[in-house]
Every structure is written in C-alpha cells, then in structure tokens.
C-alpha cells in the first residue's frame, strides 16, 4: 500500500477521458471541463478513449480532434492505430474489423490534426463530428509509482479508515475544482472529491482506496 498517488496529467484523463480517460491528473487542481472519465463498457475494457472528433479539417478528410489523453504525441501521432467509437464513448460495432491508421497526427493550436488512411473525404470526415476515438489500452505508457490513470479508479473498492468497505467507484468526473468520484454505496451514489485531505492511500494490487472518516460523506 502506498500514499495516495497524484494521478498526474502530463498534457489525460479521464478522460480523459481518460480516462475512461487516459489522463493522469494533477490533483486536486484541474481547470478542464466536466468530463466523465469512464472506460467503455466492461466487456470492452481493453480499449480507452483518447480523443473526440470536433470537426472536419481541410479537403482530404482530416479531423480536428480534442485530445483526451495525457500522451497525445503517442496516441494520436502518425503511425498510431485507433478504433472507431460512437458518440457515447463506446466502441462502434464494426471498430475491431476496421482499425483507423493515423497517417498524419500533429498538434494544431489547442487541438490535434489527425488524418487516417480510412477517411479521405471531407464530407465523410464531417460525419464523424462528436464521435470518440479509442485505442488499445496496452499501448498506454506505464504510470509512475506516484501516479494512477483516472480510468483505473473505476471499479475500485472504497474503504473508510476505521470503518471498512462502504462502496465502489462507479465514475470519475473532471470538474473545475478537481476530480470527483461517484461512489456507489448501499444508500446512494454520493460524489466525493479527490483531495489530499480525504484520500489516505491507494492499493493498486488490491484495488482499494482508503478515505479519511468524515461525517455524512458516505451516508
């Protein structure tokens, strides 16, 4: 068991996401918009969301993509392999049969310009607006010892120090004030901030987060 990681964004989450984001997040501070950092459905857990198509760019079928990864230079760069997601962030039905091969991927202001071999027409590219781009989770860089991917928090057991298990992490949200965990308990789904004061430790192997006791937090 170690002290709580400072899941540290190097841009990631999540993703964000990540996370689902692939983001590592600097906690507790974060200025990005509210973003549900879930992975896709449990049966598709080997995939992670790395970006969202914002619009078509140019006449050759390129996209302007919002990166939802802490490592866009690896996940969205030339030579990367992506998989088509729907507008909810889940893997599209035909995605595994048709991977997307990035032929050109580079920063463009606050977004990424991404052109894939399989999309060559602006009209087709524009039809992807709002869809998510996924990647094989095995291609993620390893997190450092003091880091954790936001998406990996999903499903962890939540314990309160001196009280024991109280619930399970169902979701993670990237709010202006920092990351917030949605915890499913016997009585509801409270939203719990991830802060140094509240998070005492994270056990990666046992997948347990231990929170400090606070009246009413999980009641």
Q: Is 216 inside any structural domain? A: no
Q: Same domain, yes or no, for 197 and 157?
A: yes
Domain with 200, as residue range(s), is 150-211
d(CA 27, CA 147): 10
The answer to whether 178 and 9 are in contact (CB under 8 A) is no
Give the CATH number for residue 158: 2.30.30.240
171 with 195, same domain: the answer is: yes
Is 161 part of a structural domain of the chain? yes
Shared domain check, 135 and 159 = no
pTM: 0.66
Residues 125 and 197 in one domain: no
Rounded percentage of the chain residues whose pLDDT exceeds 70: 78
Q: Give per-residue pLDDT as tens, 179-205.
A: 899 999 999 999 999 888 888 888 888
Q: Which residues contact 177 (CB under 8 A, 6 or more apart)?
A: 28, 30, 193
CA distances from 98 to 10, 20, 117, 139 (A): 30, 21, 11, 18
The predicted model gives 105-131 an average pLDDT of 95
For 145-169, what is each residue's pLDDT tens digit? Answer: 777 777 788 899 999 999 999 999 9
Are 67 and 11 in contact by the 8 Å Cβ rule? The answer is yes
Residue range 20-60, pLDDT digits in tens: 322 233 333 222 222 333 444 444 457 888 899 999 999 99
């Amino acid at each position: 068991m170690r002290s709580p990681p400072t899941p540290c964004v190097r841009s990631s989450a999540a993703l964000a996401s990540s996370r689902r984001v692939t983001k590592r997040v600097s906690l507790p501070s974060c200025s990005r918009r509210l973003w549900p950092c879930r992975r896709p459905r449990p049966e598709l857990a080997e995939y992670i969301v790395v970006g969202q198509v914002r619009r078509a760019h140019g006449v050759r079928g390129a996209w302007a993509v919002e990166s939802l990864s802490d490592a866009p230079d690896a996940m969205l760069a030339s030579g990367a392999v992506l998989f088509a997601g729907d507008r909810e962030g889940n893997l599209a039905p035909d995605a595994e049969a048709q991977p997307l091969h990035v032929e050109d991927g580079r920063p463009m202001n606050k977004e990424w310009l991404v052109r894939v071999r399989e999309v060559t027409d602006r009209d087709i590219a524009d039809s992807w607006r709002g869809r998510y781009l996924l990647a094989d989770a095995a291609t993620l860089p390893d997190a450092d010892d003091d880091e954790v991917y936001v998406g990996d928090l999903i499903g962890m057991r939540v314990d309160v120090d001196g009280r024991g298990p109280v619930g399970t992490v169902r979701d993670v949200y990237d709010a202006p004030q920092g990351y917030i965990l949605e915890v499913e308990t016997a009585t509801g789904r409270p939203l719990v901030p991830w802060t140094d004061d509240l998070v005492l430790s994270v056990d990666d192997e046992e997948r347990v987060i231990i929170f400090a006791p606070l009246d009413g937090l999980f009641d």
